[in-house]
Amino acid sequence: MKLKTFYRIYYRHRVEKASYILKFYLFLIIPFVYFLNIFFFKKKINLDLFSKKNFLLFEKNLNFLFEFFNSDKGEYYIDQYIQPIKRKNIKIISHGYSKFYEKYFVELKNKNINILEIGSFYGNASAALFFYFRNANIYGGDINPDMFKYSSKRVKNFFIDSSKKSSIDENIISRGVNFDIIIEDASHMLRDQIISLFMLFKILNPGGYFIVEELDFPETKENMRINQSPPDLKTILKKILKKEDFISTYIDQKEKEYFLKNFEFIKFYKGNINEFAIIKKTAKSR
């Protein structure tokens, strides 16, 4: 993890709200705190080599793998969002999405597919998906790709800023890769959730699944919708199911029409903490 990334994750919000005196103090101590944390950063793991010694992981269920690699998509995890030096080896309740995902993922388990996760963070979910989908290519994008701690011939890590259409177009769509599963787990901002779904739905393969995690964040957290134009994605999806029209400044007409013609179903679920949506694309795109 670079110093710039360390600052963004652990100090940027504090600095933005701090007085001038506190800002000065924080800028003095941040390099020192970063240096102390370096000793607690985990080394990068080559999953191709790791899998040779841990081949039994290929037979494990999705929740086991999420918990093994400490992804918050499982039932329990060790908090990965605090500074490494402050972490305690105590598992706490997590999102618990795995039991829902496996119902849909099991049919694709042994197929040659492409999976995209936006908001990969340390890459823990990517590592779990590497073992669950033994023939899949995993793409993990994040605004801080230097945090990603796994490597493999089947795993690709790259930069993406999901708040910008130009970044999605340049870093994902221009790759020319279509995906069978897309998991949106990035900023959870109202605007970003909408942009990601409606831009990327066209590169989801027929019959594929698009998942929006923490769908309720813009509704329940003010900082996830501040200075952004409603409606949020949850409201939009509910309007679609009711066959009601909607207008969003973040969706162009062609994207809207394509989505409405090509989704098979939209289902809402509640994990242990937050809500998410699973959207399936029709078997034949129109």
Same domain, 141 and 255: yes
- Distance between CA 56 and CA 189 in Å, rounded? 38
Question: 80: burial class by Cβ within 10 Å (0-12, 13-18, 19+)?
Answer: middle
Query: Three-class SS of residue 269?
Result: strand
Average pLDDT over residues 231-251: 98
Q: How far is CA 118 from CA 56, 125, 170, in A?
A: 28, 11, 14
- pLDDT tens, 156-206? 999 999 999 999 999 999 999 999 999 999 999 999 999 999 999 999 999
Answer yes or no: is pLDDT of 286 > 80. Answer: no
Answer whether residue 84 is part of any domain.
yes
Same domain, 25 and 94: no
At 180 the pLDDT is: 98
CB 136 within 8 Å of CB 177 = no
Instruction: Write out the two tokens for 58.
Output: 């290929």
Answer yes or no: is pLDDT of 272 > 90. Answer: yes
Query: What DSSP string runs through 227-243?
Result: T-PSPPHHHHHHHHHTT
Residue 162 makes CB contacts below 8 A (sequence gap 6+) with 118, 119, 141, 143, 168, 184, 186, 187, 192, 195, 196
Answer whether residue 148 is part of any domain.
yes
Answer whether residue 184 is part of any domain.
yes
Average pLDDT over residues 36-46: 94
What percent of the chain stands above pLDDT 70?
Answer: 100
Q: Compute the mean pLDDT over every residue in the chain, rounded to the nearest whole number.
A: 96
User: Taking Cα atoms as reference points, which of 68, 69, 90 lies closest to residue 79?
Assistant: 90
Average pLDDT over residues 62-86: 96
H or E stretch at 160: none
Same domain, 104 and 207: yes
At 284 the pLDDT is: 82
Same domain, 164 and 274: yes
Answer whether residue 97 is part of any domain.
yes
User: Taking Cα atoms as reference points, which of 172, 147, 148 lies closest to residue 162?
Assistant: 172
Answer yes or no: is pLDDT of 249 > 90. Answer: yes
Answer whether residue 226 is part of any domain.
yes
CB 179 within 8 Å of CB 203 = yes
Q: Residue 232: give its domain's CATH number.
A: 3.40.50.150
Banded pLDDT at 275 (limits 50, 70, 90): very high
Answer whether residue 286 is part of any domain.
no
Answer yes or no: is pLDDT of 35 > 80. Answer: yes
Global pTM?
Answer: 0.95
Answer whether residue 30 is part of any domain.
yes
Same domain, 10 and 115: no
The domain total for the chain is: 2
Same domain, 135 and 34: no
- Distance between CA 17 and CA 266 in Å, rounded? 39
Q: Which of 75-89, 184-198, 262-276 has the lowest mean pLDDT?
A: 75-89
Answer yes or no: is pLDDT of 36 > 80. Answer: yes
Same domain, 27 and 70: no
Same domain, 192 and 99: yes
**Residue bearing tokens 């995890």:** 77
In this structure, the strands spanning 76-78 and 91-93 are: antiparallel
Banded pLDDT at 42 (limits 50, 70, 90): confident
CB 265 within 8 Å of CB 279 = yes
Q: Which of 10-14, 174-178, 276-280 has the lowest mean pLDDT?
A: 10-14
Same domain, 33 and 100: no
Same domain, 33 and 75: no
The whole domain housing 245 covers: 45-281
Q: Which one-letter DSSP state was computed for residue 263?
A: E
Same domain, 18 and 81: no
Answer yes or no: is pLDDT of 115 > 90. Answer: yes
Average pLDDT over residues 152-159: 98
Same domain, 17 and 74: no
Answer whether residue 10 is part of any domain.
yes
